[in-house]
Structure 1
């Protein structure tokens, strides 16, 4: 299943009928809330949280052994064949078609972005290219890095709604200049929920000699992912969203030829000992979100990873088609550019300011018990729907009724 290709024929199969409301039993989600917001901070299944708690208890039995002799390779010999973090990194890397030695753990995708930007060598007048669809925190980090080194942050305007992914590739090609030192691209955009044609966009940058940093916060677990095949230089993502890991679990993958010049945002005991050792120990912290990540990936495989992704994608597309038709619009993007989220336009009568968006979002939550982000984009209000295996079309119908009650 390739989300860069046309997915019109993708429909849930018979073995996916177990998905839906009954799956909520695997989460601690409040049963009184319709939760259409999995994409914001994720939700960790009970089974994965139990693995994390067991790891915490094991750590507290012998904290020095666990953290200083077993966790990483920095502190000397251990009875383990591999340090705990390296074992976990290998499992996570395999899930994304990569090698463990090219992947390190970070708290979240924003941390990974900051690691790359903090290691970037810029001269006055050099440019960092970012798009208008980028996550706000990433935009801030890029602006800070450019300003402190005398560089420029250049924003590529990508239209939304969008009719063709090829338009994005063409616009990117025109925005690159001889001064572009790094392009920061999303895999799945946060607010607009678009799956970008990342491989084609990366090829465009590579032809111009521009390194690519990918913000893949929403991609792992949500869509099929083979990082090395994308042709990018850096890829950072979250595992605590669609990959079901505990909160505070992200990763940074770096192409081998880029690793020597990269350093973590926190410099610690691993300095000068190589990419992996610099990132594997940045001070005392709880490593159990990273160590529990393989259990989350195993759970997804047990549930049927392809089936989960197909169910979620189909539900997101159903919601997009049904709600836009109900409100007199067209879906804002072709099906191939949606994963398991969809950001959809709301009727103009609901308002057109950020204050209107906040009022509607909190009305949905406190009066209708529905959790879904309301955004103000391009002078109108939008709702972003996340489709996880515990959601159903009935959740979307309840959202529609609640929104229409405010018209």
Structure 2
């Protein structure tokens, strides 16, 4: 490992960290900025934190930053702790009726599928799963799988921008258009998208979009956003009902008022986000309108190259086209297909204990036990070469 490569980060130099996609990694300068905000809070707690004092202008600076990065209207943005909370807020507020169907996919994030299932059970609705193939050859297979699962009872749809288990970028523009053409509300779980992919919500026009700050934007943990089209904002309640429900001055709209104040909380993860994005923009500077375009290109090219190393070493076909990758890639390992849960855990343990790799190894379905790699600025191609050697020994 190259120590200077890790200097801006706190990742242990003896750890082959190929799992940025799970919780991200926060740079030193961002943590220092977060601590700065925490110190200011403790120096004058009421002035800093009370919504009727100076909290809201600080949150609005972050809101403006997020809006600029994702090409959205600040008025439509509220803050949540993470994308799972954003999904919960929407699906638990949505007025489901008995007999309604919610459409999800088999590539969805388990926590969010659980939230959808609980809301459906409570309303007497049902959850329908569109089975997208994996391995996959073309984005049209995604559209076909979802289109074939739509019925007259489909009222609401949850899709991922980038799938967590399989690491593929879904054709969300086509899927949003498909949903709207069938009079279906659509929510996009964009947990991985900001910082990985260019985003323009003004063009995409999802009814709801939620994402994390801590993943590919590298913000401190416990920070995310929820964007809701203005026509639907009055329907959406935060998971915690607090003073904003009936107190003036907590935000310019009832929507933001309710989300701005969940009760006493630490806003420093939110307030440090602009520093995180500025840091990322400095790594691969570009004159492109999207100031993270250079970093996105670097990470995409690195994960493609890293995946190619693994596929060639293991003599495997690509499980998804390179055009469907961002900076994640999932590879099914045929030699592990018949592994028991204990054997999968043993592989995971050996990669960590014997080879010092941190990355997900998991069963996706009956036919696929997979590993997933991430690529961020602190990773190198040599790490994927070492991983390929380790996986070959365990296969």
So what's the TM-score if we normalise by structure 1? 0.90
How much does 1:21 deviate? 6.8
1:400 aligns with 2:388: yes
How much does 1:350 deviate? 7.4
SS in 2 for 1:377: strand
1:383 aligns with 2:383: no
SS in 2 for 1:236: strand
Question: Is there any run of 5+ residues in structure 1 with no aligned partner, and where?
Answer: 1-19
* Partners of 2:281 and 2:295 within 8 A in 1: no
Aligned partner of 2:265 in structure 1 is 285
- How far apart, CA to CA, are the structure 1 residues paired with 2:235 and 2:19? 37
How much does 1:352 deviate? 2.8
SS in 1 for 2:362: strand
Task: Name the Cα RMSD after superposition.
Answer: 1.5
Aligned partner of 2:295 in structure 1 is 308
Aligned partner of 2:116 in structure 1 is 142
Greater relative contact order structure (CA < 8 Å, 6+ sep): 1
- How far apart, CA to CA, are the structure 1 residues paired with 2:215 and 2:243? 30
So what's the TM-score if we normalise by structure 2? 0.93
Provide, for residues 148-189 of structure 1, a one-character-per-residue CA deviation record: whole Å limited to 9, x for no partner: 111111111111111010121122122112211110000000
Aligned partner of 2:223 in structure 1 is 249
Provide, for residues 293-314 of structure 1, a one-character-per-residue CA deviation record: whole Å limited to 9, x for no partner: 1111111222232121111101
Give the alignment of 1:137-286 within 5 angstroms: 137-271=111-245, 274-286=254-266
Rate the CA distance shift 1:250–1:107 in 2: closer, same or farther, 3 A. Answer: same
Give the alignment of 1:75-86 within 5 angstroms: 75=52, 83-86=57-60
Once superposed, which parts of structure 1, at least 4 consecutive aligned residues long, lie more than 6 Å away?
none
SS in 2 for 1:26: coil
Aligned pair partner of 1:332 in 306, 309, 319: 319
Per mean C-alpha deviation after superposition, the further-off stretch among 300-309 and 200-209 is: 300-309
* Partners of 1:102 and 1:254 within 8 A in 2: yes
Aligned partner of 1:8 in structure 2 is none
* Partners of 1:193 and 1:338 within 8 A in 2: yes
- How far apart, CA to CA, are the structure 2 residues paired with 1:351 and 1:323? 20
Per mean C-alpha deviation after superposition, the further-off stretch among 274-283 and 224-233 is: 224-233
1:96 aligns with 2:70: yes
Aligned partner of 2:45 in structure 1 is 63
Aligned partner of 1:45 in structure 2 is 27
- How far apart, CA to CA, are the structure 2 residues paired with 1:373 and 1:393? 18
* Partners of 2:162 and 2:191 within 8 A in 1: yes
How much does 1:400 deviate? 1.1
How much does 1:351 deviate? 4.7
Question: Is there any run of 5+ residues in structure 2 with no aligned partner, and where?
Answer: 247-252, 286-291
- How far apart, CA to CA, are the structure 2 residues paired with 1:168 and 1:330? 20
SS in 1 for 2:272: helix
Per mean C-alpha deviation after superposition, the further-off stretch among 49-58 and 165-174 is: 165-174
- How far apart, CA to CA, are the structure 1 residues paired with 2:209 and 2:370? 28
How much does 1:358 deviate? 1.6
Aligned partner of 1:126 in structure 2 is 100
- How far apart, CA to CA, are the structure 2 residues paired with 1:406 and 1:340? 25
Provide, for residues 314-348 of structure 1, a one-character-per-residue CA deviation record: whole Å limited to 9, x for no partner: 11111222211221221111111100010012241
Provide, for residues 366-403 of structure 1, a one-character-per-residue CA deviation record: whole Å limited to 9, x for no partner: 11111111111233321100011111110001111112
Aligned residue-pair number = 380
- How far apart, CA to CA, are the structure 2 residues paired with 1:222 and 1:362? 29
SS in 1 for 2:373: strand
- How far apart, CA to CA, are the structure 2 residues paired with 1:351 and 1:178? 39
- How far apart, CA to CA, are the structure 2 residues paired with 1:270 and 1:130? 32
- How far apart, CA to CA, are the structure 1 residues paired with 2:308 and 2:14? 27
- How far apart, CA to CA, are the structure 2 residues paired with 1:21 and 1:333? 33
SS in 2 for 1:94: helix
- How far apart, CA to CA, are the structure 2 residues paired with 1:202 and 1:210? 9
Per mean C-alpha deviation after superposition, the further-off stretch among 371-380 and 251-260 is: 371-380
- How far apart, CA to CA, are the structure 2 residues paired with 1:364 and 1:171? 35
Rate the CA distance shift 1:203–1:350 in 2: closer, same or farther, 3 A. Answer: closer
